[in-house]
Structure 1
Amino acid sequence: MVVPAQAGAAEPPPRVPEQVGWGGAVSSVDPDASQIGLDVLRRGGNAVDAAVATAAALGVTDPFSAGIGGGGFFMYYDARTRRVSTLDGRETAPRSATDQLFVENGAPLPFSEAMTSGLSVGVPGTPKTWQLALRKWGTLNLREALAPAEALARRGFLVDQTFNTQIVNNAARFADFTSTRDLYLPGGQPPAVGSTFRNPQLADTYRELARTELASLYGGAIGRDLVNAVRKPPVVPGSARNVRAGDIKLSDLTRYQVERRDPTRTTYRGLDVYGMAAPSSGGTTVGEALNILESTDLSKATDVEYLHRFIEASKLSFADRLRWIGDPAFSRVPADGLLSQKFADTRACLIKPDAVLPAPQPAADPRNPQPCQATAGLSAQREDAERTTHLTVADRWGNVVAYTLTIEAEGGSGIVVPGRGFLLNNELTDFEFVAPTPGVPHPNLPGPGKRPRSSMAPTIVLDHGQVVLAVGSPGGATIITTVIQILTGRLDRELSLLDAVAAPRASQRNAATTPAEAGFLAAASTAGLQAIGHRFSQNAEIGAATAVERAKDGRWRAVAEPTRRGGGAARVVKVG
């Protein structure tokens, strides 16, 4: 039974953008989730335990960005071995999917229709990511890690403006599904700011997942409910919305596996930068952009010179991302070539100090790099959803987790699994919406069991095996440019980590116009960029990063957004 929002919630922990101290750190977008992760650390849990507990709590308080109906990428640094490992918990297409999943009568489906449908739902990977991370590196079992989030879902939390606004933004489509309407529009209205929101159905789901060690989802009762919601979406009778059914079967759930992948690695200013490999484009695209920037001393550049190089490097690396990155089980991804300094130098020489490269730029071929030439054809950017969440955790032993997880668009597919209290993703819309053309490479077309390309970019930076910082962000394709801008702001421009996270952002993704926040457009440097030839459009908000940094004296600095998405919550075990 859904319990409507009620007044009288206890005040949540405060939203704090920065804390410095000892014993470990947690940073997420939500104060309740960060506090749960911090409590795990204080009770002796490690970074993996705290990361899973925090992620589960975000499934309660930030359900329109992430949850057990989605997927993500988990990056772990082991302080004992000084190694970085990653888990690919990306959603997969059902085994029945074809390369024309989103083509109807020879034409691509409108994105809005594809998004709000069973057709867009991929097989979730988040719960299995939690399970595998705990088994490999954690000290808690799944029941112990999920228990705090289960309790949070039962007792409820205080509805803030962000939670309310996200429901308002999606009210029209939420109202078209019986289960979503009943949960998030009780009485026909979003829960009021300041009221208590409880989700006992999700609490029961967490308990059942823990009790069955996920068997209920990947082959059991929860899985059957999920399959029914995808194949027969719970549309309100009389709704005018055309909600297409998907074709996930229980066998798709039973076959799902999290993939263990080697991280990407490149060097920048003598540091080792580790990222997420394909099907994420985060590691290769961030790495290529940094390699393009390597040849310029950005610490001595003016603001205009620095931002010009950052924007142009982003443009070129995005051109290559779109041409080459897809699921490595289906196409060969030339990751070593994309991350080679030799290839980056052939791209960097295209950048002129006093002119802007036209866009979209052609991609280049990293297998046969030619100086200052693009030889692999045009590569235009398709806009995508900008909702996801990222958390960053460190523990007293020096282990670190950078974890980005998502259900894709804000509110995912819009479909809550009836009786189970969680939203399903619309992740398959990250595939290309085109009919295949003979002779034209399309590494990101749908396919049976295939993982769509992602922009998620959890990143860990090491100096001779020791953690310097870890960072990541939500924001769709803007994740990549957000991470690049934070890294260069901190490592090159000598901004504090908090200032690097808070800095006004721009996000060039191989388009003629660069979206930018109001603060960026108001800066004095923007006029200088426009004089060179840059064109900008305004984007209300780009990203919502979290990060941790290790000080030379061993203290941890946890950083979250000061204002984006209402401000994040940075915590350390012992402030000082």
Structure 2
Amino acid sequence: MKLIARPLLLLGLLLTPLAWADAPARATHPDGAAIASGHALATQAGMDILAQGGNAFDAAVAVSSTLAVVEPISSGLGGGGFFLLHDAATGKDVMLDARETAPQAATPQAFLDKDGNLDRDRSINGAWSAGIPGLPAALVELSARHGKLPLKTALQPAIRIAREGFPVYARMAKGYASRADVMQRYPGTREVYLRNGRPIAEGDVFRQPELARTLERLAEGGFDGFYRGQTGRLLLAGVKQAGGRWTAEELAGYQVKLREPIVFDYNGWKITTAPPPSSGGIALAAMLQILEGWDIKAMDPAHRTHLVVESMRRAYRDRTFFLGDPDFVQIPQKVLTSKDYAQGLRATIHPEKATPSDLLSGNPTPLEDDETTHFSIIDAAGNRVGATQTVNLLYGSGLIPKGTGVLLNNEMDDFALKPGTPNAFGVMGYEANAPRPGKRMLSSMTPTFMENDDKVVVLGTPGGSRIITMVLLGVLGYDAGLQAQQVAALPRYHHQWLPDLIEAETDTFDADTIKQLQAMGHRIDLPGEVAAGGRGSSHVWGNLQTVEWDRRSNTLYGGSDPRNPVGSAQVTD
């Protein structure tokens, strides 16, 4: 069983500069491959495809589709994601934006009750909560544009596991129990998740023959095998039966978008990360470039945490006001990611005092759930993939259209369905993130590359609005000299402007650090001590998956979050 390294030891490592001997020549490509994902079966699926002659992009199809089978709590063909890609042959980076899109019928008024309040049940449960899925289109695009093997070959592990089954694990069973009242509303979902009237339980072999057939149609027909034909008809019928309104035209009209990643420098690292409709890359650029003005590695834990939190506070405030789908909203991206802008934000930070969030200007203003998933891949040619995919809340909308095995997302809740009303994760939004037909909802998913002369890193995580700050802490960990597994185990804390408090995992801070932070004016929401307005910090959160290539020794490392007992990282020679 994997163990979480002690926080104080890791904090000590963060403060210790590394002294390297004279650096040897840097390798031009790895000797093997590394994959880290949220489930061992998905990691192995990727390794199997590499062994058959596939590249990182073929492996990504295998890992992604297998996660769609074995982590229905987190992602699936009925959801979407972001795929950050590096092509070693050309040196080019691109992000495949497979975020879900709003159906034409999903206007803001459709989500209000008779009194004009947000209808929370409609926004997170059933057909109305579901956007048009993007993940199947991304798998087709990955294979056709970047892969070496046929799509049919890369999807075989997922098809086999869906048909033969896999053991239900504790998180999956527990998640179902928390959503059972919703999932049992729908005949298609009941057929998949009830066994002779009994809900799935830990240790059951979970078989999904209908999902296997859907994957087979995708493998044979590509895009049309999912968005048109039999699968398309079954999806439309299932949504209609559950009271929703999708059209054949908008389903068949879904398109993956190719986005130019956000690229910036931090302490000698080239950071390549997700652009809008992810909010992560812009926020990450702001936070790191604010922090670059201080030597935070030389500070005591309280002052380092104070400055990191203040950078979070400012980045999340800007997220609220400015970010949305770039195809619908003018985003001042060049300004928000510039060092000059970061310098201006840095100047507003007092080194000894917290800035109350209500003192930061707040005119009209916006989460992936903890059950999103992430995987990271580097292959022997140096190609790399960082992918974060989701259905939003636990088991998404809870709706499986009969005959498909496809659990639909509930991403519509990530829109600002009613201005100024928080979504399921406490994040507010206004016009920039309001729903429009075909529009993509804002996301926190932040797949990220780091590289300098010595190392190449891929990292990312699920975790709702906490995704961005977990990636931030991971970047800071690598910058301090930690290796992949140490970064995956780092203790976590978070601030998102509103509510105005620090959330933290158990044992992240010692008593003295807490006392110093409180003296600076910070409110801290600790497990068991829920502060007013807080969500109540869970004991642990996130599921960071990362791989690292040390070019000095030509060694690969994988880091799989020890908080997730079914996660896995593998490295091959």
The one-character-per-residue Cα deviations of 1:316-339 (angstroms, maximum 9, x if unpaired) are 000001111111111101111110
**Cα gap change, 1:334/1:55 in structure 2, threshold over 3 Å: closer, same or farther?**
same
Q: How far did residue 264 of structure 1 move? A: 0.7
Aligned length: 529
* 8 Å contact from structure 1 (residues 304, 528) kept in 2: yes
In the other structure, the counterpart of 2:542 is: 543
Q: Quick one: distance in 2 between partners of 1:15 and 1:299?
A: 27
In the other structure, the counterpart of 1:154 is: 163
Q: Quick one: distance in 2 between partners of 1:523 and 1:138?
A: 51
Q: Quick one: distance in 1 between partners of 2:368 and 2:572?
A: 37
* 8 Å contact from structure 1 (residues 312, 356) kept in 2: yes
Q: How far did residue 433 of structure 1 move? A: 2.3
Q: How far did residue 543 of structure 1 move? A: 1.3
Q: Does 1:559 align with 2:543?
A: no
Amino acid at match of 2:439: K
Q: Which moved more, 1:118-127 or 1:90-99?
A: 90-99
Q: Quick one: distance in 1 between partners of 2:144 and 2:491?
A: 40
Q: Which moved more, 1:404-413 or 1:347-356?
A: 347-356
In the other structure, the counterpart of 1:424 is: 408
Q: Which moved more, 1:159-168 or 1:424-433?
A: 159-168
* 8 Å contact from structure 1 (residues 41, 573) kept in 2: no
Gaps of at least 5 residues in structure 1 are 1-13, 234-244, 363-373
Amino acid at match of 2:354: V
Q: How far did residue 99 of structure 1 move? A: 4.1
Q: Which moved more, 1:169-178 or 1:452-461?
A: 169-178
Q: How far did residue 213 of structure 1 move? A: 1.5
In the other structure, the counterpart of 1:369 is: none
In the other structure, the counterpart of 1:573 is: 572
* 8 Å contact from structure 1 (residues 106, 435) kept in 2: no
Q: Quick one: distance in 2 between partners of 1:361 and 1:46?
A: 50
* 8 Å contact from structure 1 (residues 157, 198) kept in 2: yes
* 8 Å contact from structure 1 (residues 27, 559) kept in 2: yes
* 8 Å contact from structure 1 (residues 413, 424) kept in 2: yes
Root-mean-square deviation (Å): 2.2
* 8 Å contact from structure 2 (residues 264, 271) kept in 1: yes
**Cα gap change, 1:397/1:325 in structure 2, threshold over 3 Å: closer, same or farther?**
same
The one-character-per-residue Cα deviations of 1:98-156 (angstroms, maximum 9, x if unpaired) are 34342333623243442002111111110110111111111122111111110111111
* 8 Å contact from structure 2 (residues 78, 391) kept in 1: yes
Gaps of at least 5 residues in structure 2 are 6-29, 422-428, 528-536
Amino acid at match of 1:416: I
2:451 to 462, 486, 506: 462
In the other structure, the counterpart of 1:294 is: 292
Q: How far did residue 226 of structure 1 move? A: 1.1
The one-character-per-residue Cα deviations of 1:330-355 (angstroms, maximum 9, x if unpaired) are 11011111100100111111111211
Q: How far did residue 489 of structure 1 move? A: 2.0
* 8 Å contact from structure 1 (residues 17, 559) kept in 2: no
* 8 Å contact from structure 2 (residues 130, 397) kept in 1: yes
Q: Does 1:377 align with 2:377?
A: no
Amino acid at match of 2:435: P
**Cα gap change, 1:47/1:412 in structure 2, threshold over 3 Å: closer, same or farther?**
same
Q: Quick one: distance in 2 between partners of 1:433 and 1:214?
A: 30
Q: Quick one: distance in 1 between partners of 2:44 and 2:263?
A: 32
% same residue: 34
Amino acid at match of 1:269: N
Amino acid at match of 2:434: L
In the other structure, the counterpart of 1:46 is: 55
Q: Counterparts in 2 of 1:214-225, with a 5 A limit? A: 214-225=223-234
* 8 Å contact from structure 1 (residues 73, 404) kept in 2: yes
**Cα gap change, 1:194/1:361 in structure 2, threshold over 3 Å: closer, same or farther?**
farther
Partner of 2:286, secondary structure, is helix
Q: Quick one: distance in 2 between partners of 1:287 and 1:361?
A: 23
* 8 Å contact from structure 2 (residues 84, 95) kept in 1: yes
In the other structure, the counterpart of 2:341 is: 343
Higher helix share: 2
Q: Quick one: distance in 1 between partners of 2:287 and 2:214?
A: 42
Q: Quick one: distance in 2 between partners of 1:508 and 1:231?
A: 40
Amino acid at match of 1:573: T
2:150 to 108, 128, 141: 141
In the other structure, the counterpart of 1:443 is: 432
**Cα gap change, 1:559/1:360 in structure 2, threshold over 3 Å: closer, same or farther?**
farther
Q: How far did residue 75 of structure 1 move? A: 0.6
Q: Counterparts in 2 of 1:75-94, with a 5 A limit? A: 75-94=84-103
Q: Quick one: distance in 2 between partners of 1:456 and 1:569?
A: 20
Q: How far did residue 15 of structure 1 move? A: 7.4
Q: How far did residue 22 of structure 1 move? A: 4.5
* 8 Å contact from structure 1 (residues 25, 393) kept in 2: yes
* 8 Å contact from structure 1 (residues 28, 560) kept in 2: yes
Q: Quick one: distance in 2 between partners of 1:84 and 1:219?
A: 31
* 8 Å contact from structure 1 (residues 108, 433) kept in 2: no
Partner of 1:346, secondary structure, is helix
* 8 Å contact from structure 1 (residues 460, 467) kept in 2: no
Q: Does 1:501 align with 2:500?
A: no
Q: How far did residue 170 of structure 1 move? A: 1.3
The one-character-per-residue Cα deviations of 1:22-73 (angstroms, maximum 9, x if unpaired) are 4101100101111111111222211111111011111111012111101110
Q: State the TM-score, normalized to the length of structure 2.
A: 0.88
In the other structure, the counterpart of 1:206 is: 215
In the other structure, the counterpart of 1:388 is: 372
2:503 to 515, 520, 525: 515
* 8 Å contact from structure 2 (residues 324, 432) kept in 1: yes
* 8 Å contact from structure 2 (residues 113, 119) kept in 1: no
Amino acid at match of 1:423: L
**Cα gap change, 1:271/1:112 in structure 2, threshold over 3 Å: closer, same or farther?**
same
2:132 to 120, 123, 136: 123
**Cα gap change, 1:550/1:151 in structure 2, threshold over 3 Å: closer, same or farther?**
same
Q: How far did residue 435 of structure 1 move? A: 5.4
Partner of 2:225, secondary structure, is coil
Q: How far did residue 187 of structure 1 move? A: 3.0
In the other structure, the counterpart of 2:303 is: 305
* 8 Å contact from structure 1 (residues 175, 181) kept in 2: yes
Amino acid at match of 1:401: V
* 8 Å contact from structure 2 (residues 335, 341) kept in 1: yes
Partner of 2:473, secondary structure, is helix
Q: Does 1:175 align with 2:192?
A: no
1:353 to 342, 351, 354: 351
Amino acid at match of 1:171: A
**Cα gap change, 1:197/1:360 in structure 2, threshold over 3 Å: closer, same or farther?**
farther
* 8 Å contact from structure 1 (residues 15, 568) kept in 2: no
Q: How far did residue 524 of structure 1 move? A: 4.7
Q: Which moved more, 1:493-502 or 1:455-464?
A: 493-502
In the other structure, the counterpart of 1:403 is: 387
In the other structure, the counterpart of 1:132 is: 141
Q: How far did residue 361 of structure 1 move? A: 5.5
* 8 Å contact from structure 1 (residues 282, 455) kept in 2: yes
Q: How far did residue 475 of structure 1 move? A: 1.1
Q: Does 1:64 align with 2:51?
A: no
Q: Quick one: distance in 2 between partners of 1:415 and 1:86?
A: 29
